[in-house]
């Protein structure tokens, strides 16, 4: 079975405390749980570990369900390791994994990852039919010799912090709420692809970030962003949408990097989205659009002065 192959590729040096989940976005709720995990692991001289999934189990169990992804597996691994986790184990979630009983799953964790304890959220469940809830896992723990600790959920300004709440804030372009829930700026990353080359004509050259279809993106509009190019961070203005002034096309993410000269084609570009400036608009012609972009750039410079001074690389 694939799960055995993937788990057996990790050989922890000593016993572990684990948490399990998708951890999409690695938001503040996830960070609270990870903080407790690493604290408890240090107290018991265990390794701290996160078992995550390459794809969201909901998408595997309900293929027709379209679930926007906040972070790639690679981004999640980086973010989790930056929180001080010793071990991050990405598993491929399949129907075979979904069919495992809770007992079978934890026995695999005991055997291959030397699990001595689980730290989980209150609504966590694993195993066939979500049978492995907190009560079931605590019972299994008493039988098989591992501990289970349940961490309370986190609320921020009366909002329960969850990946669903982050997606909802993104969908309405509410970057202030998104940032509060994530504890960082939301980021997008991808290779720079060829576009329509209108940016040079409009005096504002842009880099078109190519994203995976399942990537979650904010509501269409113009945003003040920070662009990471190599070891440097630049102020930038990003348009997300269909460019209605030139006739609606495919949705794109086009980044105009302020005070930057160079060719980014084929390189990987990461942007952090700080604040929404305005909705995407249809203008009478290029000159009217140019005038508005100049206003956007001025507004973005004003907004980004402080974030740029304290900018750190994403992840």
Rounded to 10°, the helix 175-182/163-171 angle is 160
| Length of the chain in terms of residues written | 315
pLDDT at 312: 54
pLDDT at 57: 83
Structure tokens, 212: 């995976």
pLDDT at 32: 97
HEC secondary structure over 58-89: HHHHCCCCCCCECCCHHHHHHHHHHCCCCEEE
pLDDT at 282: 84
pLDDT at 40: 98
Show the domains of the chain with their CATH numbers.
Answer: 2-156 (3.40.50.620), 185-309 (2.40.30.30)
- pLDDT tens for the chain, residues 1 to 315: 789 999 999 999 999 999 999 999 999 999 999 999 999 999 999 999 999 998 888 877 787 777 899 999 999 999 999 999 999 999 999 989 999 999 999 999 999 999 999 999 989 999 999 999 999 999 999 999 999 999 999 999 999 999 999 999 999 999 999 999 999 999 999 999 875 445 555 678 899 999 999 999 999 999 999 999 988 999 999 999 987 666 566 889 999 999 998 889 889 999 999 999 999 988 878 888 889 999 999 999 999 998 876 655 444
DSSP tag of 127:
S
How many Cβ atoms from other residues are within 10 Å of residue 287's Cβ? 10
Which residues have a catalytic role annotated? 254
Signed CA dihedral, 242, 246, 247, 249: sign only:
negative
pLDDT at 200: 52
Burial class (CB in 10 A: 0-12, 13-18, 19+), 248: exposed
What are phi and psi for residue 171, nearest 5 degrees? -65, -25
pLDDT at 50: 98
pLDDT at 314: 45
pLDDT at 181: 97
pLDDT at 247: 58
pLDDT at 278: 96
Angle 35-36-37 from CA coordinates, rounded to 5°: 90
Q: How far is CA 53 from the centre of its chain?
A: 13
Residue (of 210, 270, 309) closest to 78 by Cα position: 270
């Amino acid at each position: 079975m694939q799960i055995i192959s993937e788990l057996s590729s990790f050989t922890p040096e000593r016993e572990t405390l684990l948490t399990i989940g998708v951890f999409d976005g690695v938001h503040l709720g996830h960070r609270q749980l990870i903080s407790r995990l690493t604290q408890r692991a240090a107290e018991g001289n265990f390794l701290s570990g996160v078992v995550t999934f390459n794809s969201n189990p909901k998408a595997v169990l309900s293929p027709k369900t379209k679930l926007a992804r906040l972070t790639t597996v690679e981004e999640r691994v980086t973010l989790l390791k930056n929180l001080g986790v010793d071990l991050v184990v990405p598993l491929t979630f399949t129907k075979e994994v979904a069919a495992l009983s809770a007992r079978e799953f934890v026995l695999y964790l005991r055997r291959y990852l030397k699990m001595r304890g689980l730290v989980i959220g209150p609504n966590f469940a694993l195993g066939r039919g979500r049978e492995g809830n907190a009560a079931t896992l605590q019972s299994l723990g008493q039988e098989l010799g591992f501990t289970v600790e349940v961490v309370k959920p986190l609320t921020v300004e009366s909002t329960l912090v969850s990946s669903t709440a982050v997606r909802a804030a993104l969908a309405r372009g509410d970057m202030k709420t998104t940032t509060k829930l994530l504890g960082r700026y939301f980021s997008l990353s991808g290779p720079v692809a060829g576009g329509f080359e209108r940016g040079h004509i409009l005096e504002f050259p842009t880099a078109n970030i190519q994203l995976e279809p399942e990537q979650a993106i904010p509501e269409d509009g113009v945003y003040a962003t920070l662009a990471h190019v190599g070891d440097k961070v630049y102020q930038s203005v990003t348009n997300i949408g269909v460019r209605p002034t030139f006739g609606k096309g495919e949705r794109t993410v086009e980044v105009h990097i302020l005070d930057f000269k160079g060719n980014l084609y084929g390189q990987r570009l990461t942007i952090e989205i700080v604040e929404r400036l305005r909705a995407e608009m249809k203008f009478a012609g290029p000159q009217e659009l140019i005038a508005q972009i100049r206003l956007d750039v001025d507004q973005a410079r004003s907004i980004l002065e402080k974030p740029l001074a304290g900018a750190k690389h994403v992840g």
